[in-house]
Amino acid sequence: MKSVWLTIAMAVLLVGLGTYVYLVELPSERTRTATETQDKQLIPFEEQDITGLIVRTEVGEVVLAPDEKRAWKITAPLAADADSREVESLLRALVLGRISRVVEEQAAALGPFGLEKPATVLTISAGSRRETLSVGDSGPISSTLYAMRASDKKVLLTSLAPKDVLNKTLLTLRKKEVLRVDQAKVDRLRLAYPANELVLYRVEHTDQPGPAAGKDRKAWKLRYPVEADADQAEVNNLLIKLDNLKALGFVDPGPQRDALLRKLTKPDVKITVHADGTDQTVKLYQLDLTTGEAYAVTAQDAPLYRISPLAIKDLTKELFTLQDKRLLGVNMDELAMLAVKTRDHQYTLIHQNGDWVLEDQPAEKLDQEAADLFVSRVVSLPAEIRVVKQAGPLAPYGLAAPTAEFTATAKDGKQRGRLVLGASSGGLVYAMGHPGLPGIFQARADLLSQIPAKADLKAKTRQVSGLPPEPGRK
């Protein structure tokens, strides 16, 4: 009986101890942890609560504020869009910044820490609350900075990295994109150069047979100076470069802008982008070839953007660059017949009821996978290098007596494409393509070794069933 009472007493003692820990010690520990965390915080704000930022450096002061959609704007010394990434990166660094240690409670001299004349002074507002942070020299470790808050005047060693908070000027914080280009929404492009013009449209297009067969997508087409398929990768690359066109500097509206604008008479490139029913136009000028001085002009009331002259080179495209460089000139889903002629073989493949058959042996079963692979290689062969713009003498390129010829007939019964391969050189073969791609080119020579004979296309049904092949079968 005595042992039972002892057990009950021990249980009551353990419950009491647990209650004490839960009600007294744990809250106290949480309070200590929260206090230590708060003490180590550099600024007492969350990023989403910040409603204003002033950045002051030796070159001037920049005042920023978010709009109703939290897009940051510069409000002084001028009104302009801010580089949201740059601003948010700065704010994130401040919010995540920590105090490594308090160097001095009340410093007699601020010069040794670079705080007498701080490199940067940041004023952060969160509604009615405000904190000002002066940032000085680097600490003992290069990725640390000395700082001082206006609220307590303590000299602090912080976890701030110089690259995150220093040298934030008006140019750094200003939005530098020349155009807003949403590649998914662009459906028209016009590229005007001093000697020519290219017009491209994005139109609905049905995918070729394959895993995504039957799905519709939009594809780029050339409308001027020729109507032809466009090189999708090249057009998308052009849009990426246009989206990445950034200002190196600005000439804002005023007498200097007006004077400079009078010198910009004939653009090297004029690009019009159509999206969501509206046009955006940018004109690019290279003012001085020796110095590389180049500018972009958009709207009448917009600043002039100083840009890299390389941007003009990147956005100057000739017809061949943007044109679909597949030499045959017919898509897989449009192809009804492909005539093949080499020095050793000659036959015609017909696409009939979803299968490939030989024109002269329509009852012969073919290896559909092998036929599909071969036809797709012919259809997809692109020109790699343009040798001459207009075809002249063919003999020097082995095209007078071709190594291989392919003629494509579309489903409407019309001959739509032709590919001629000539002499090989250095892994490339001279080639001529469809009429919409005039000239002589070089293409990869792999196709020459991938042209099957009739026998290679025929299904090996007898071997699969264990029967010997038919004698004399070719």
Query: Which pLDDT score, from 0 to 100, does residue 214 have?
Result: 45
Tokens, residue 129: 């609350």
> 83's torsion region: left (phi>0), alpha (psi -120 to 50) or beta?
beta
Cβ–Cβ under 8 Å, residues 275 and 186: yes
Q: Where does 205-292 have alpha helices with state H?
A: 232-243, 255-263
Residues listed for the chain:
474
- Whole-number Å distance between alpha carbons of 281 and 319: 20
Q: Which helix (H) or strand (E) holds 117?
A: none
439-473 pLDDT tens trace: 999 999 999 999 999 999 998 754 333 434 545 44
- C-alpha span between 454 and 358 (Å, rounded): 8
User: Which residues, including other chains, have CB under 8 Å from residue 7's CB and lie 6 or more apart?
Assistant: none
Q: Which residues of 62-77 are buried (b: 16+ CB within 10 A; e: fewer)?
A: bebbbeeeeebbbeee
Question: How many other C-beta atoms lie within 10 A of the C-beta of residue 440?
Answer: 24
Residue for token pair 């069933």 = 465
State how far the Cα of 270 lies from the Cα of 179, in Å rounded to an integer: 13
Average pLDDT, the chain: 88
Q: What is the residue-wise DSSP string for 353-368?
A: TTEEEETTBTTS-B-H
Q: Which stretches does DSSP call E strand in 2-92? A: 52-57, 60-66, 72-76, 80-81
Cβ(49)–Cβ(126) below 8 Å = yes
Cα(50)–Cα(65) distance, rounded to whole angstroms?
A: 9
pLDDT attached to residue 76: 96
Q: CA–CA separation, 203 vs 219, rounded Å?
A: 6
Q: How many Å apart are CA 438 and CA 320, to the nearest integer?
A: 10
Which stretches of the chain drop beneath a pLDDT of 50?
Answer: 21, 25-38, 207-215, 462-468, 470, 472-474
pLDDT value at residue 466: 40
Query: What DSSP assignment string belongs to 360-417?
Result: TBTTS-B-HHHHHHHHHHHHHPBP-EEEESS----GGGT-SS-SEEEEEEETTS-EEE
Q: Which residues of 256-294 are buried (b: 16+ CB within 10 A; e: fewer)?
A: ebeebbeebeebbbbbebbbeeeebebbbbbeeeeeeeb
Question: In the sheet that 355-358 helps form, which strands lie side by side, from edge to edge?
Answer: 355-358, 346-352, 335-342, 404-410, 415-425, 428-432, 440-444, 385-388
Q: What is the pLDDT of residue 204?
A: 85
Please report the pLDDT score of residue 13 as a whole number.
65
| Residue corresponding to tokens 């003999």 | 395
60 and 169 in contact (C-beta within 8 Å)? yes
